[in-house]
Amino acid sequence: MKKFNQIVPLVIIVCCVAFKAQAQFGDLLKKVAPHVDININLNGSVTNKNEVGGDNANASTEKSGVVAQTQPEANAGSEVKVQPNNQQATALEVQFLKYKSKAENGDPEAQYNLGKCYGKGLGVEQDKEEAVKWFRKSAEQGNADGQNALGVCYINGLGVDKDEVEAVKWFRSAAEQGNAMSQFLLGACYADGLGIVKDEVEAVKWVRSAAEQGNAEGQFLLGHFYANGLGIVKDEMMALKWYRKASDQGHQQAKLAADALAADAAAQAKLAADAQQVAAAFAADAAKADAAFWKQQEKEKAEKAARALVEANARAKAQAEQDDADAKRQAEYKKKQAELAAQAQAEAKQRADAEESSAKQEAQKNARASFLDKLVLAACGVLLFTPILLTYLSLRKNSRF
């Protein structure tokens, strides 16, 4: 109990230090990874409205919790029309005509590029409906870029009625072909339940596929998932890894998130070191108290052992005396039993001798009675056969004459 009472203050201090750390740094990631809306442009880039300078004229998803970073070239689906000079315009128009020629001959890649020209107004007047037309032709031939662009048009309502379910359909088709941006966008849809039932585990699966292909948006979003434990076990080291990968590609929001995590880790390390010093001081005091406590315990233990030894000796002596008395009683009992056995044996012998003598007398008596019976029988025989013998002898004597 004393040891427990000494440890309680240490536990309280450690908890206070941890609480302070949480109060200071618990909201850092929220500052760089807020709940935001995203804009998805025709080339698959994503614009974060919460980011400084990130607001634009594109339609946005209404309930997205996905955080994404503006890309410099992400204006393919915006209303901003490129204004080239005359020389550039001529080159763009030539390129547009080349794309159109190939597209009309069924080339899916050219159809996709022609759709981009219409979507951005490159070499031709901007026409979102025509862009959707050519994106669809490309997509229906299995071109992953065309499928991704068509999905972007559907999810933003660019040149077509907004349809998140249809957008998810085309994102999935492109993602299954390995299109990294579609994999990211499909994962984002799963994360927020856009056009599909929300499934954070499935979101992690597709975003990871995009991240592993080097897609900066996917890398940042995967870091966000790890940092917040969305669809995966929370792991700040893995979050930092993917934030840094995205940051290395110029993703500014990923850089902020990585810096926040790194600062948080450094602060946590410092607080942990401070807590360790406090714990060491308390441990030293506790060690001294423990030494005195255990010394007293050893003393009491020795005294208790001495008392136990005296009591054990007394019990052993009493037991020995009891054993001697029991042995004597046992010896006397055996002796008495032996005497009784000898007496019984003598009496048995006397009875046997008496019975033997009586048997002999009875035998002699029976022998005499048998002799007399035989003698009587013999006398009777003599008396019975004497007349007959005499008659016989008389007849023999007369027959001689």
> How many whole angstroms separate alpha carbon 203 and alpha carbon 64?
13
Model-wide pTM > 0.85: no
Q: In residues, how long is the chain? A: 401
Question: What was the pLDDT predicted at 52?
Answer: 25
Q: Which residues contact 239 (CB under 8 A, 6 or more apart)?
A: 223, 224, 225, 226, 227, 257, 261
Condensed to tens digits (0 to 9), the pLDDT of residues 189-246 reads: 999 999 999 999 999 999 999 999 999 999 999 999 999 999 999 999 999 999 999 9
> How many whole angstroms separate alpha carbon 198 and alpha carbon 195?
9
Q: Average of pLDDT values for 132-151?
A: 98
CATH of the domain at 129: 1.25.40.10
Question: What was the pLDDT predicted at 85?
Answer: 61
Q: Give 87-93's long-range contacts (Cβ < 8 A, gap of 24+).
A: 89/123, 92/117, 92/122, 92/123, 93/123, 93/124
The phi, psi pair for 47, rounded to 5°, reads -110, 130
Say if 18 falls within a structural domain. no
Question: What was the pLDDT predicted at 131?
Answer: 97
Q: Which residues contact 289 (CB under 8 A, 6 or more apart)?
A: 2, 6
Say if 156 falls within a structural domain. yes
CB environment 92-114: b (16+ within 10 A), e (fewer): beeebeebbebbeeebbebbbbb
Say if 167 falls within a structural domain. yes
Closest CA to 42 of 164, 135, 176, 177: 135
Residue range of the domain that includes 164: 33-250
Number of domains in the chain: 1
At 150 the three-state DSSP class reads helix
Dig out the tokens for 38 from the structure. Answer: 């995203």
Residue 40 — very low, low, confident or very high, per pLDDT cuts 50/70/90?
A: very low
At 116 the three-state DSSP class reads helix
> How many whole angstroms separate alpha carbon 38 and alpha carbon 183?
16
Condensed to tens digits (0 to 9), the pLDDT of residues 341-400 reads: 889 989 998 898 888 888 888 888 888 888 888 888 888 888 888 888 888 888 877 876
pLDDT of residue 132 exceeding 50, the answer is yes
Q: Average of pLDDT values for 62-83?
A: 39
The more confident residue out of 193 and 47 is 193
Closest CA to 182 of 171, 195, 194: 171
Condensed to tens digits (0 to 9), the pLDDT of residues 271-301 reads: 677 777 777 777 778 788 888 888 899 889 9
Which run of H or of E encompasses 47? strand 46-48
Say if 10 falls within a structural domain. no
> How many whole angstroms separate alpha carbon 122 and alpha carbon 232?
43
Say if 215 falls within a structural domain. yes
**In terms of C-beta density within 10 A (0-12 exposed, 13-18 middle, 19 or more buried), how is residue 368 classed?**
exposed
> How many whole angstroms separate alpha carbon 141 and alpha carbon 137?
7
Say if 103 falls within a structural domain. yes
The more confident residue out of 43 and 316 is 316
Say if 219 falls within a structural domain. yes
> CA dist 69 to 119, 152, 322, Å?
21, 16, 95
Q: Average of pLDDT values for 13-21?
A: 44
Count how many Cα atoms sit within 13 Å of the Cα of residue 304 in the half-sphere of its side chain: 6
Dig out the tokens for 92 from the structure. Answer: 């763009």
Percent of the chain with pLDDT over 90: 48
The more confident residue out of 94 and 65 is 94
Say if 383 falls within a structural domain. no
Dig out the tokens for 199 from the structure. Answer: 């499934």
